[in-house]
Structure 1
Amino acid sequence: MFPQEPRGNASLLLRRVELGDEGTYICAVQAAALVLEQTVLLQVTEKPTVTVNVNSLSLVEGEQQKLVCDIRNYYPADIHVQWLREPRGAGQLPDTVPNVLTSSHRRSSNGTYSFSRFFLLTATLRDDGCTYTCRVEHPSLQAPIRRSVTVAVREATSTTWLLLRSSAACARSSSRPAERREAGGRQQEPLPVIGGAATGLSDCPESGPNRLVALCREGSEHSQQPDVYAMTQSSKAQM
């Protein structure tokens, strides 16, 4: 109050306004039999603090990453938050990310609120160069707050498998493999061996969890040198 002000000035000054100061204030003036009142509604807002759990991501195709947007210390509770997927390149409209989950609102001792919105990103090559943005709107803000995550996605690493031919790759079996004959009696090459199958040489060494080993065939009569073949296959494939 300002009792020292002349001519009936009864102003009220609130310093260091807190959430507890929110409410309705009434100024009443009485002069003889005349009573006048003026009502003032005071609303207090607190701007949210917005953070994301990562600023950038480098993922392999198929890899998963949880993206979390934390919104803290805001008031009132009325707030709008969404995750957007912004494609690479200008002129493309952002998409709203589906299947986003929301934590419950938490109220702190000072009266402000906090909560989180999050989703599980499964990386695809379409996500390479995209930006995922958490966009927050609140009555305390003149413009929305945006926090973004840039995403880079690379293709799954390819594995080069060596296909070896000759006894250098596989131990010969003690007996000759069965041979195929045509009607005229002419011999053909024995069937190839994959993974130690009994159609060719036996005891082929395995090479890793995908169970593709070597392609082992009988060496020719004219050459005993091993022939090396390369086959490129995605590491995701199941052999």
Structure 2
Amino acid sequence: MEEETSMPVQLSTMGSPWASGWQADFMASLLLVLLRHVLMAGGLQVEMAGTTQMVFLHDNVTIACKIPGSPRLDIKTVGIIWFGKNELDDSEVKVFEFYGNHLESFRPGAMVSLSGLESGDASLHLPKVQLGEAGEYRCMLVVTPEKAEGKTILEVVANPTIRLFVKPASVRNDEEKHIICELYGFYPEAVSIKWGKYTLKDSQFQEITEGNITHPTVKNDDGTFNVTSCLTLKPSLEDHGTTYQCVVLHRSLLVPRRHNVTLSEKGAKDVHFAFLAFSLLLLPAAYVLWRCIPG
């Protein structure tokens, strides 16, 4: 009796409606899983004003921290904590916090608007900022069950008050004149002072690189700085009517600040008057000498 040989039977699902449906369902499920993963990875996000935000000393500042799109939030599910890290110190401290029925300002006047928080705005308001408050600020926002945070650097600066004047010549050194450029109450310490001039003959700015000295900065009790720069002039007829300029460059200034002083022409007039007086004194002597000469 011959043995029957059983052959493996291959079932083909190509073109089968059942197989096509199963593959479509599988791909859809996979796509949903990937999409959920992407959404969870992105999660809650906050936007800051930038990596660095500048404020002038004693001014009020609002450090931005917002959820994109201004969503409407249930404030019962929202919490916010602001941290500050001084630029001279690595330790971090709380500045403000709110969650549930708890609200606390660790820095006097620090505040986050609760009405703004309902629309996703967790920005921190600080009144009358001091130099010691410069540094890194961190916004940690919780919208249950998600959390997001952002950081920004707060830079505090102070504009220099500038005074430019001509120092009267001393009795011992009446041949020299000194133009003084004084700067008061600026911050940070780094500052650049340049000198230049415009003459009556040449209206082009000419930088002066000799005869000027900028003294070391002096620190004030409030942390700001003062500095004095002096330009020494050897007087000449060309100096009279010349405009001298003190140019100040500082972090707090968007453009260099320029202060001018023009030397009066009084000195030149005195010279001309002296020459005229001397000529008038010579006239009688010349007349007498002319009369004494035999004709």
The aligned counterpart of 2:103 is none
Distance 1:38 1:86, change over 3 A: same
In the TM superposition, residue 93 of structure 1 has moved relative to its aligned partner by 3.5
In the TM superposition, residue 54 of structure 1 has moved relative to its aligned partner by 3.1
Distance 2:257 2:143 in 1: 50
1:212-231 correspondence runs (5 A) = 227-228=288-289
TM-score between the two structures when normalised by the length of structure 1: 0.58
The aligned counterpart of 2:258 is 146
In the TM superposition, residue 87 of structure 1 has moved relative to its aligned partner by 1.5
User: Which of 123, 137, 140 is 2:249 aligned to?
Assistant: 137
Q: Is this contact kept in 2: 1:56–1:150, CA < 8 A?
A: no
The aligned counterpart of 2:237 is 125
The aligned counterpart of 1:107 is 219
Distance 2:257 2:178 in 1: 21
Q: Which has the larger radius of gyration?
A: 2
The answer to which structure has the higher helix fraction is 2
The reply to whether residue 18 of structure 1 matches residue 127 of structure 2 is no
Q: Is this contact kept in 1: 2:162–2:184, CA < 8 A?
A: yes
Which amino acid in the other structure matches residue 150 of structure 1? T
SS in 2 for 1:44: strand
In the TM superposition, residue 45 of structure 1 has moved relative to its aligned partner by 1.3
In the TM superposition, residue 95 of structure 1 has moved relative to its aligned partner by 3.0
Distance 1:163 1:27, change over 3 A: closer
Which amino acid in the other structure matches residue 143 of structure 1? V
The reply to whether residue 74 of structure 1 matches residue 186 of structure 2 is yes
Distance 1:23 1:162, change over 3 A: same
The aligned counterpart of 1:220 is none
Distance 1:78 1:122 in 2: 30
1:88-103 correspondence runs (5 A) = 88-89=200-201, 91-103=203-215
Distance 2:167 2:257 in 1: 15
Distance 1:142 1:31 in 2: 39
In the TM superposition, residue 33 of structure 1 has moved relative to its aligned partner by 7.8
Which amino acid in the other structure matches residue 233 of structure 2? L
In the TM superposition, residue 113 of structure 1 has moved relative to its aligned partner by 1.0
Q: Is this contact kept in 1: 2:167–2:179, CA < 8 A?
A: no
The reply to whether residue 37 of structure 1 matches residue 146 of structure 2 is no
Distance 1:164 1:142 in 2: 65
Distance 2:149 2:177 in 1: 59
Which amino acid in the other structure matches residue 177 of structure 2? Q
The aligned counterpart of 2:197 is 85
Which amino acid in the other structure matches residue 114 of structure 2? Q
Which amino acid in the other structure matches residue 112 of structure 2? F
Structure 2: runs of 5+ lacking an equivalent:
1-110, 291-295
Identity %: 27
Distance 2:145 2:217 in 1: 51
TM-score between the two structures when normalised by the length of structure 2: 0.48
Distance 1:16 1:92 in 2: 43
Structure 1: runs of 5+ lacking an equivalent:
166-225, 230-239
SS in 1 for 2:183: strand
Instruction: Tell which has more relative contact order, 1 or 2 (C-alpha 8 A, sep 6+).
Output: 1
Q: Is this contact kept in 2: 1:163–1:228, CA < 8 A?
A: no
The aligned counterpart of 2:112 is 2
In the TM superposition, residue 164 of structure 1 has moved relative to its aligned partner by 10
In the TM superposition, residue 20 of structure 1 has moved relative to its aligned partner by 2.1
Distance 1:29 1:54, change over 3 A: same
Give RMSD over aligned pairs.
Answer: 3.4
Deviations 1:21-43 (A, max 9, x none): 21110112356786532111001
